[in-house]
Amino acid sequence: MNARRAARALALALGLALCGCTQRQLGHHLTDVSGLVAPLEFHMTDQDGVPVSAASYRGDVVMLYFGYTHCLDACPTTLATLADAIEQLGAQSRRVRVLFVTVDPRRDTEPVLKRYVSDFGPQFVGLRGTDAQLTDMIKRYRVSYHYEKPDASGAYEVDHSSAVFIFGRHGRARLLAQTGAPASVLAADLRHLLART
Amino acid sequence: MRLLSYLLPWQFSPTACAVFALTAALYIRGMAVLRRDSIHVGFWRPFVFFLGLAVNYAVMQTYFDFLAQHMFWIHRLQHLILHHIGPTLLVLSAPVPVLRAGIPGPAWRVLSNPWVSGPIGRLWRALQHPLIAPVIFVGLIYFWLIPSIHFTAMLDQRRYLLMNWSMLIDGILFWWLMLAPREAQGAAAMRYGPRCIILTAVALPQIALGAYIALSSKPLFSIYAICGRAWAISPMLDQQLGGLLTWIPAAMMSAVGAIVVLHHVLAEDRRALTREACAQASAAAGASAGAAA
Please report which confidence band the pLDDT of residue A5 belongs to, taking 50, 70 and 90 as the band edges.
low
**Do residues B179 and B88 touch, judged by C-beta distance below 8 A?**
yes
ipTM for the predicted complex: 0.85
Binary contact (A6, B135; C-beta < 8 A): no
The pLDDT, as a whole number, for residue B187 is 77
Which pLDDT score is estimated for B279?
Answer: 85
Q: Please judge whether A148 and B232 are an interchain contact, meaning their C-beta atoms are less than 8 angstroms apart.
A: yes
Closest A-chain CA to B119 = A2
* Contact state of A144 with B135 under an 8 Å Cβ cutoff: no
- Select the residue of B151, B153, B228 nearest A144 (Cβ to Cβ): B228
Using an 8 Å CB-CB cutoff, list chain B residues near A6.
126-127, 129, 132
Quick one: pLDDT at residue B188?
Answer: 76
- Residue contact B159–A21, C-beta within 8 A: yes
Establish if A176 touches chain B: CB-CB under 8 angstroms: yes
Say yes or no: B211 contacts chain A, CB-CB below 8 A. Answer: no
Q: Does B157 touch chain A (CB under 8 A)?
A: yes
Q: Is the pLDDT of residue A90 over 70?
A: yes
CB contact (8 A) between residue B66 and residue A148? no
Question: Which chain A positions have a beta carbon within 8 Å of B156's beta carbon?
Answer: 35-37
Q: What is the Cα–Cα distance from A163 to A24, expressed in whole angstroms?
A: 16
* pLDDT at residue B4, rounded to an integer: 85
A147 in contact with chain B, both atoms CB, cutoff 8 A: no
CA–CA gap between residue B218 and residue B237 (Å, rounded): 11
The whole-chain average pLDDT of chain A stands at 89
- What's the Rg (C-alpha) of chain B? 23
Question: Is the CB of A161 less than 8 angstroms away from the CB of B228?
Answer: yes
CA angle B275/B281/B285 to nearest 5° reads: 145
Render each residue's pLDDT in chain B as its tens digit; 293 residues.
Answer: 678 889 999 999 999 999 999 999 999 999 999 999 999 999 999 999 999 999 999 999 999 999 999 999 999 999 999 999 999 999 999 999 999 999 999 999 999 898 989 999 999 999 999 999 999 999 999 999 999 999 999 999 999 999 999 999 999 999 999 999 999 998 778 999 999 999 999 999 999 999 999 999 999 999 999 999 999 899 999 999 999 999 999 889 999 999 999 999 999 889 888 888 888 888 887 777 766 66
Supply angle C-alpha A143, A148, A154, rounded to 5: 135
Residue B63 contacts A where some CB pair is shorter than 8 Å: no
8 A C-beta contact, residue B264 and residue B180: no
Three-class DSSP category at B86: helix
User: CA A74, CA A69: separation in Å to the nearest integer?
Assistant: 10
- Which residue in B122, B136, B146 is closest to A10 by CB distance? B136
Mean pLDDT, range A127-150, rounded to an integer: 95
- B5 interfaces chain A, CB cutoff of 8 Å: no
Q: Which residues contact B226 (CB under 8 A, 6 or more apart)?
A: A161, A162, A163, A176, A178
Q: Does B124 touch chain A (CB under 8 A)?
A: no
Alpha carbon distance B85, B53 (integer Å): 11
**Which structural domains are found in chain A, ordered by start?**
24-195 (3.40.30.10)
In contact, A69 and A116? CB cutoff 8 Å: yes
Of B11, B153, B225, the CB nearest to A162: B225
Query: Which residue of A lies nearest to B139 if distances are taken between CA atoms?
Result: A14
Helical ranges in chain A per DSSP H: 2-21, 74-87, 110-118, 131-140, 183-195
**Is B35 within 8 Å of chain A by CB?**
no
pLDDT value of residue B292: 65
Of A7-21, A55-69, B246-260, which range is least confident? A7-21
The 10s digit of each residue's pLDDT in A95-135 is: 999 999 999 999 999 999 999 999 999 999 999 999 999 99
pLDDT band for position A1 (cuts 50, 70, 90): very low
How would residue A180 be classed by pLDDT, with cut points 50, 70 and 90? Answer: confident
* Nearest residue to B99 (alpha-carbon basis) of B171, B146, B34: B34
Nearest CA in chain B to A38: B156
Residue numbers in B near A160 (CB within 8 A): 228
> What residue in A sits closest to B129 (Cα-Cα)?
A3
pLDDT at B103: 94
Inter-chain contact B132–A6, Cβ cutoff 8 Å?
yes
A7 touching chain B per CB within 8 A: yes
Residue A143 in contact with residue B227, Cβ under 8 Å?
A: yes
Of A31, A36, A139, the CB nearest to B156: A36
Residues 79-98 of A with CB under 8 A from B: none
